[in-house]
Structure 1
């Protein structure tokens, strides 16, 4: 995710948003375990650290009253401190989507929860969805190819995001059904690659070949650590 200030300034946020990222620990053997079958632990940790930072930098493009990184526990929070710049703050003890949305609490804008391992996801569609959202209740959804989501954002989120199967291939289908039943506007963002499987690394390399500006730290890492 990359920032483009000139485009952002043309599309100011209409209401205070809250943005959160669920983060893993960027240490060898502590993140993206499925990648370890094809890559060294140190390489995986370096890749994840770059993806996390690109994600955080990109999301700062969105006007918000809070920017939160959720860590599983205090140990994870300490390890993340070197990778999380201000104004992001780290909150320990949150490991799933339901707890994250509950922790964010009520807002007059949108509550947005993103993964930390989909760095090539574009920011502009998020800004456009926020600018177009005027309803009291609405949802934006960033799907992946396999039915998971790299981002869920909700205005008036309450029951719409309760007990979401975060990380499950049923997430996108679940969100679509909930919005349909509740007659809530659903805006779907472009599909992006979640990089937590060896095959996804190859897809990421192709995306960054075409759009290196979306994740500059990740692009630099894969070039210098090929």
Structure 2
């Protein structure tokens, strides 16, 4: 298994690092049966990819065995943003039968953390995520890892996240501060509820901590306040 250096991903200031520790603690308090966790957002740009990946790093640093799966097959940002070699094999290669899973799973310089990138954009992302190969994969990984963190497309944009949610123990919604209207967010939540997934809570992201002394709850359980996340 090849190893990828992800040092650029985990440079957080003290406040952001503490926030991710808080998120990690709340995830762990959800119970030992909550292992496969999906992250989504309402719209693009709310920071779900950064939040989910940094949570995976934080869990691994706490001694948990973690695998991060980039299931945003339509518009992944991780490979480009963090300057990973674009020749890496990804989830698309595995789900389409081109490569074995061991060929698309990468080790990292963070102990206990493995990563599966999305791969090239396929012509049929919804069908790939809904096939039995993906379902079987998640069942197998449950026996091998303490946590499976899955990044998915915005639930308000495409149906892919709703399909993945059906195979997960819980879902976390990332909400960009002042980016999404209440009714639009509620519509996304209602769509998730139709999948029968357990909505673990929401992460309020991209908060200007210098201008806000009080944030309050957005909806669901409130995990923390973040100001470091990138576009996805």
- What TM-score bracket applies, with the shorter chain setting the length? 0.3 to 0.5
Question: Per chain length, whose mean CA-contact separation is higher, i.e. which structure has more relative contact order (CA < 8 Å, sep 6+)?
Answer: 2
Structure with the largest fraction of helix: 1
Q: TM-score, normalised by structure 2?
A: 0.37
